[in-house]
Chain A
């Protein structure tokens, strides 16, 4: 009987005009487009240089800033007021002012001052831009110092697991989770509510079909579709970025299965409370947005305020995102992911238990 119900679900899925197409397009969107647009790296910052010194050192500094790749020197202004106008007109993001006698002060006194001003309307751009510029100046400073005295200590950082600090490598594994959550959490819940809204569930309810059979017939197709979509994500990430997991795919599939189990349970809870598709959609969006922002998808959980870090344990997405990032970038194995394993298992029990209880109460 389950077999026949599954056949029905697949028929309805593939007969739907939009769903199969979206299921294919979504992983490509998520892997190929989203990481490029949701990117926190700042490039092409427009910089106005006010060089009051016009010395060799000031020209060297300007050249160094230009060659770093982050800055585009949009203007060379004669004074600070003129430079400010560029900021006001939005043609310039930052100002670097080199004071007069800059070279003389460095050579004679071993110290000199520089002024950096940033347009902080976009906080990230202003903050990161200043930091980059300060870094370049610091680097420059070190070069001069080593020229002046010997034996200065140089620091060379090594970035583990993502040596080139690629933002895409950080985002892509997490975006795969989003896709999985949409297909396996959203779709079956909406499907069940759809049957409620159209009244077809009544007709099913008067048949001897067991409720569990009926629900499985709703979940299994989306589990299968979810895993197909996840696999497409793996391929897309490999083709587009050469990104392959350092760890084993089996670990990822195992945790993905656990996550899917818990998240489809969450979908069932919603389908029990919603009587119309509109209600179900709204509830889903509300919780999905909460889960996403609490999950550390965009910003690391460690950056959040204390209370938010505590609150982030309610997001099942957090744990599966940790798993995907760890396995993809660090090659973690099962034993290093035990916290996520237990948390996801707890979510699976919690949501599915809630789904069963809330269903009983309603009938």
Chain B
């Protein structure tokens, strides 16, 4: 669907958000969020639980009014043109929100009908996803497994051929295989020209997006491509392993020159200044020396490439 353009700005962006704020009573959920999403992009909103992801999605899908600021989806204002937006967006809420007492097929048919279309008309769009749950189409939606529920929800969100798709934490609570499948589907949908805005608390999914926004406490810390964000990590990152990891974490934080240190899987990630010339600037070697002097044993030290999680931790530490 081509939006009726009022000016150039509405044509170029699939979604545009300017200074959106929203509070629940005294609790500030979103503060001054601004960003644009280009057509055909997979845009990831990444941050921990309670960061404001769902509030942002609810505003953009016209379910909630912002306190201030403006946003437009395909050129339509989320407040004044909400009816037009509802025709062109697909929304998959974080919580499974289909009728558990209707069958798989009935759910799909309901949403097709509500959008004035039929399953047959847009079947090609959901074929890859729906064909996996079609053998169970007479089963009540409430009796499906988590991964299958998610596939049904995605099918229902797609059945009216939306031009922009909002997925609120689609991979939360489903198994790794289904997660992988879901991301493959999103890639395919992108190739059909659908703009996708997806939120997730999992940092490792960031690299699957074209661009990401890191969100914390209702504010965007950074918006860029995953690659650029990783490259902008301005410090040296060292992975440290050894005996007695708990004590090691505590000691590492006390060593001069260590900017931050976080547990990261089975090792600790230590950040230091990249090009420090001062006396206490640390390299992998000087760190090993310092730890061995303190009596730590079995120490493995490896310089590592930063990933999104490191960047996120660094950004919130600032």
Interface residues of A (CB under 8 A from B): 1, 4-5, 8, 11-12, 15-16, 198-200, 202-209, 363
Contacts and interface: CB of A to CB of B under 8 A. Distances in A.
Interface residues of B, number: 26
Contacts of A203: 91, 93, 97-98, 111, 156
A206 B113 contact: no
Contacts of A199: 93, 95-97
Nearest to A4: B113
Contacts of B96: 199
Interface in B97-128: 97-102, 106, 110-111, 113-116
A276 to B, nearest CB: 15
B114 A204 contact: yes
Contacts of A207: 86, 111, 114-115
B63 interface: yes
Interface in B67-114: 83, 86-87, 89, 91, 93, 95-102, 106, 110-111, 113-114
Contact of B101 (A5, A16, A208): A16
B55 interface: no
A198 B100 contact: yes
Interface in B22-69: 61-63, 65
A231 B65 CA distance: 46
Contact of B91 (A8, A12, A206, A209): A206
Q: Classify the interface of chain A: helix, strand, loop or mixed.
A: helix
Given A1-B114, A4-B110, A8-B110, A202 B98 contact: no
Contacts of B97: 198-200, 202-203
Contact of A208 (B86, B106, B110): B86
Given A12-B101, A16-B101, A203-B111, 6 more contacts: A4-B110, A4-B114, A198-B100, A202-B63, A204-B114, A206-B86
A208 B63 contact: no
Nearest to B93: A202
Given A8-B106, A207-B86, A200 B98 contact: yes
A8 B115 contact: no
B93 A209 contact: no
A20 to B, nearest CB: 13
A134 to B, nearest CB: 62
B116 A1 contact: yes
Nearest to A15: B101
30 contacts: A1-B116, A4-B110, A4-B113, A4-B114, A5-B110, A8-B102, A8-B106, A8-B110, A11-B102, A11-B106, A12-B99, A12-B101, A12-B102, A15-B101, A198-B100, A199-B93, A199-B95, A200-B99, A202-B91, A202-B93, A202-B97, A203-B97, A203-B156, A205-B63, A206-B63, A206-B86, A206-B89, A208-B86, A208-B116, A363-B65
The 8 closest A-B pairs by CB, nearest first: A199-B97, A207-B114, A203-B97, A206-B91, A4-B113, A199-B95, A208-B86, A208-B87
Contacts of B114: 1, 4-5, 204, 207-209
Contacts of A16: 101
B93 A208 contact: no
A208 B83 contact: yes
Contacts of A204: 114
Contacts of B91: 202-203, 206
Contacts of B101: 12, 15-16
